[in-house]
């Protein structure tokens, strides 16, 4: 039996992701929880007050006329069908929930590129042992962290432990950024100029889509490394492809893709010797532990809402519409 | 003309490595510098007071009857022909000269193993895109740093930035080790017990050879990662091979080898899916910048000796004989 009083109006949370029993029971103290695809779980869409998602079908969303909150399980909300979300619905991302995992992956990619671990490992497994080319140091190099949310801040903190010179690029100044130098929106060209390395840890929205162009890549060191653990479309695909072909000493190390549903279309990029690739696994996709933590923080935020407390990670509709 | 006074006894530095002009001229203020293999450079071995090396031939060493100092360019002195070095010759390593580079490489290997970057990159380059297996976090995990010299200390400092729990293993306590817990010689089993990750940053000498046995590997987490950026023979080769075959979830990530002159003999190990490999490049071998810095600090130490100052990195003969 739910813990909320019998006289209260029943509140409904509809989840498009499967929740572990302990999280269902936490939510169950404040609302009825219905999971999509659960046998026997039929819920009138008009009753849904909170949508906890995962993937969401636009047509289902249209029917949820009394929806008040969309809580994403993923850190980014760029995958939501924004054209179907009313302006009075509060949308919360799950930013920060996987920040440690993704920041670690950023350094896995940066170091794999700088020390050419994937290159040498695959050669050695083929029986080729000669030492060729130059490794790169992190120590003393200038790294630009694009986006200083939870992930970007962790990246900056770890970069400092590697004794790198850390520059940040952010939408606005908070005052406690762990960087030596901070560039605000509109100063991206200046921020990129002469940077040895850059890490993209920005959300994908209408302000960041296509931000990294051929022209801007040209501002970085020719021995540079661009790490993308944000979203692929922040980089103009044809621009990075051309830049990498023209600059074999520049490396693109990425976990994110333009066509994740059809990775064959990415082969032109993946096949380049100056690309280091992982298949979008930095966050939840290859770690049960990280995914469980993401579910936990998403449910925690829904509980805040249900208790009438201030919720976290509310995003601005105008950034996505 | 050398800057030392004409009335002084000529002192001779014999170098088996080629020095850049600026370092030759620094040394030239205090001594005559002769480089091996330089045309016209014939030097009576009995005149050699300081040997700056690089590789060294035992028979040449035997003839240097007035030798006072051997200054290694490499961080480790395990490659010297110790049986040919008199007890009254001071031997200095170049420990610390490449500490940042090697500590960075340790994290490149640890993260490549934890996030399986080499695995995924080579699969994707072959057109295989599915996500399989589990990535591992660094955050919150216990890492044992074996050896707290300059490299080990940097590894420990960086590990703390990743919010790992850091345990150290060292010969003696200095008091300022950047670790949560320190185990001294004789407590290795305790130090390894339950460790998630371990990094070998010990010198190779008679105290450390064969330190890591099958029995000791069994004390670590079965999802563990052992990183070796020290020297291969600190690990018993047949033991790690057997342990890796029996424990496919345990990873050995190594830059150092038992048979570097004949890498084909290492293929049984390299070919294992739970081995990540680089060909002994963490230090100087793939970075001109790192090698130049190593030459610089080695020459700096020789200058200290020639000026009558206290030199650094003096090693104990009894550790190697």
pLDDT digits (tens, 9 = 90+) for B142-165: 999 999 999 999 999 999 999 999
What burial class does residue A28 get, using C-beta atoms within 10 Å of its C-beta: 0-12 exposed, 13-18 middle, 19+ buried? middle
Task: Using CA coordinates, name the residue in chain B closest to A108.
Answer: B111
Asked whether the beta carbons of residue A112 and residue B107 sit closer than 8 angstroms, the reply is: no
Q: In this structure, what are the phi and psi dihedrals at residue A214, rounded to the nearest 5 degrees? A: -55, -45
Which pLDDT tens digit goes with each residue over B232-251? 999 999 999 999 999 999 99
pLDDT computed for residue A285 by the predictor:
87
DSSP of A151-162: HHHHHHHHHHHT
Q: How many angstroms separate the CA atoms of A180 and A191, rounded?
A: 12
Structure letter (DSSP) for residue A41: -
Residues of chain A positioned with their CB less than 8 A from the CB of B120: 277-279, 281
pLDDT computed for residue B7 by the predictor:
56
Q: How many angstroms separate the CA atoms of B227 and B252, rounded?
A: 6
DSSP H or E segment with residue A99: helix A99-114
Q: Is B135 on the interface with A (CB under 8 A)?
A: yes
pLDDT computed for residue B5 by the predictor:
54
Asked whether the beta carbons of residue B122 and residue A127 sit closer than 8 angstroms, the reply is: no
pLDDT computed for residue B205 by the predictor:
96
DSSP H or E segment with residue A90: strand A90-92
The alpha carbon of residue A223 is apart from the nearest alpha carbon of chain B, in Å, by 13
Asked whether the beta carbons of residue B289 and residue A114 sit closer than 8 angstroms, the reply is: no
Residues of chain B positioned with their CB less than 8 A from the CB of A286: 116, 131, 133-135
Q: Nearest by CB to A162, which of B104, B138, B267?
A: B104
Q: Please answer whether residues B247 and B219 qualify as being in contact, where contact means their C-beta atoms are separated by less than 8 angstroms.
A: no
Chain A, residues 288-317, CB within 8 A of chain B, namely 288-290
ipTM for the predicted complex comes to 0.94
| Probe site for chain A from B104, B126, B130, B140 (most A CB atoms < 10 A) | B104
Task: Give me the half-sphere count of Cα atoms (radius 13 Å) on the Cβ side of residue B161.
Answer: 21
Asked whether the beta carbons of residue A267 and residue B109 sit closer than 8 angstroms, the reply is: no
Nearest to A213 by CA among A201, A226, A229: A226
Q: Is B286 on the interface with A (CB under 8 A)?
A: yes
Q: Nearest by CB to B137, which of A263, A281, A289?
A: A289
Task: Using CA coordinates, name the residue in chain A closest to B275.
Answer: A121
Which pLDDT tens digit goes with each residue over A82-114? 999 999 999 999 999 999 999 999 999 999 999
Residues of chain B where predicted confidence (pLDDT) is lower than 50: 1
Q: Which region, left, alpha or beta, applies to residue B216 given φ > 0 means left and ψ of -120 to 50 means alpha?
A: alpha
Q: Is A165 on the interface with B (CB under 8 A)?
A: no
Chain B, residues 91-110, CB within 8 A of chain A, namely 100-101, 104-105, 107-109
For B84, the token pair is 């040919």
Query: Which domains, ranges and CATH numbers included, belong to chain A?
Result: 12-96+288-319 (3.40.50.720), 99-277 (3.40.50.720)
Chain centroid offset of residue B175 CA = 23
pLDDT computed for residue A55 by the predictor:
86
Residues of chain B positioned with their CB less than 8 A from the CB of A284: none
pLDDT computed for residue B37 by the predictor:
78
Task: Using CA coordinates, name the residue in chain B closest to A119.
Answer: B118
- A99-114 vs B99-114: helix axis angle to the nearest 10? 120
Q: How many angstroms separate the CA atoms of B180 and A42, rounded?
A: 53
What burial class does residue B214 get, using C-beta atoms within 10 Å of its C-beta: 0-12 exposed, 13-18 middle, 19+ buried? middle
Q: Please answer whether residues A102 and A151 qualify as being in contact, where contact means their C-beta atoms are separated by less than 8 angstroms.
A: yes
| pLDDT tens per residue across all 321 residues of chain A | 445 555 567 899 999 999 999 999 999 999 999 998 776 667 889 999 999 999 898 999 999 999 999 999 999 999 999 999 999 999 999 999 999 999 999 999 999 999 999 999 999 999 999 999 999 999 999 999 999 999 999 999 999 999 999 999 999 998 899 999 999 999 999 999 999 999 999 999 999 999 999 999 999 999 999 999 999 999 999 999 999 999 999 999 999 999 999 999 999 999 999 999 999 999 988 899 999 999 999 999 999 999 999 999 999 999 999
pTM of the predicted structure, to 2 decimals? 0.95
**3-state secondary structure labels for all residues of chain B:** CCCCCCCCCCCEEEECCCCCHHHHHHHHCCCEEEECCCCCCCCCHHHEEEEEECCCCHHHHHHCCCCCEEEECCCCCCCCCHHHCCCCCEEECCCCCCHHHHHHHHHHHHHHHHCCHHHHHHHHHCCCCCCCCCCCCCCCCEEEEECCCHHHHHHHHHHHHCCCEEEEEECCCCCCCCCCEEEECCCHHHHHCCCCEEEECCCCCCCCCCCECHHHHCCCCCCCEEEECCCHHHECHHHHHHHHHHCCCCEEEECCCCCCCCHHHHHHHHCCCCEEECCCCCCCCCCHHHHHHHHHHHHHHHHHHHCCCCCCCECCHHHCC
pLDDT computed for residue A6 by the predictor:
52
Cβ contacts of residue B230 below 8 Å, gap of 6+? B146, B147, B151, B200, B201, B202, B203, B204, B208, B256
Residues of chain A positioned with their CB less than 8 A from the CB of B162: 104, 158, 161
Q: Which region, left, alpha or beta, applies to residue B129 given φ > 0 means left and ψ of -120 to 50 means alpha?
A: alpha
């Amino acid at each position: 039996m739910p813990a909320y009083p019998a006289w209260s109006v029943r509140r409904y949370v509809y989840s498009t992701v499967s929740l572990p029993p302990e999280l269902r029971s936490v939510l169950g103290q404040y609302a009825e929880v219905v999971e999509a695809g659960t046998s026997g779980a039929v819920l009138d869409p008009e009753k849904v007050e909170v949508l906890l998602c995962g993937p969401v079908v636009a047509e289902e969303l249209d029917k949820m006329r009394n929806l008040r909150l969309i809580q994403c399980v993923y850190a980014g909300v760029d995958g939501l069908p924004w054209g179907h979300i009313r302006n009075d619905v509060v949308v919360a991302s799950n930013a920060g929930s996987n920040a440690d995992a993704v920041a670690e992956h950023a350094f896995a990619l940066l170091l794999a590129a700088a020390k050419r671990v994937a290159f040498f490992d695959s050669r050695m497994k083929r029986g080729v042992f000669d030492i060729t080319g130059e490794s790169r140091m992190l120590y003393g190099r200038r790294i630009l962290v694009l986006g200083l949310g939870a992930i970007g801040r962790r990246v900056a903190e770890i970069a400092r432990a590697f004794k790198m010179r850390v520059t940040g690029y952010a939408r606005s100044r908070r005052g406690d950024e762990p960087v030596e130098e901070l560039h605000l929106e509109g100063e991206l060209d200046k921020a990129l100029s002469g940077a040895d390395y850059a890490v993209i840890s920005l959300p994908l929205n209408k302000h960041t889509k296509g931000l990294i162009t051929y022209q801007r890549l040209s501002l970085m060191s020719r021995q540079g490394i661009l790490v993308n653990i944000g979203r692929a479309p922040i980089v103009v695909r044809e621009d990075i492809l051309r830049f990498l072909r023209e600059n074999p000493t520049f490396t693109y190390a990425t976990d994110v893709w333009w066509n994740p549903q059809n990775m064959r279309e990415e082969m032109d990029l993946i096949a380049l010797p100056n690309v280091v690739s992982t298949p979008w696994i930095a966050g939840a996709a290859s770690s049960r532990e990280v995914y469980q933590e993401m579910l936990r923080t998403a449910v925690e935020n829904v509980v805040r809402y249900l208790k009438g407390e201030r919720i976290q990670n509310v995003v601005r509709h105008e950034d996505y519409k």
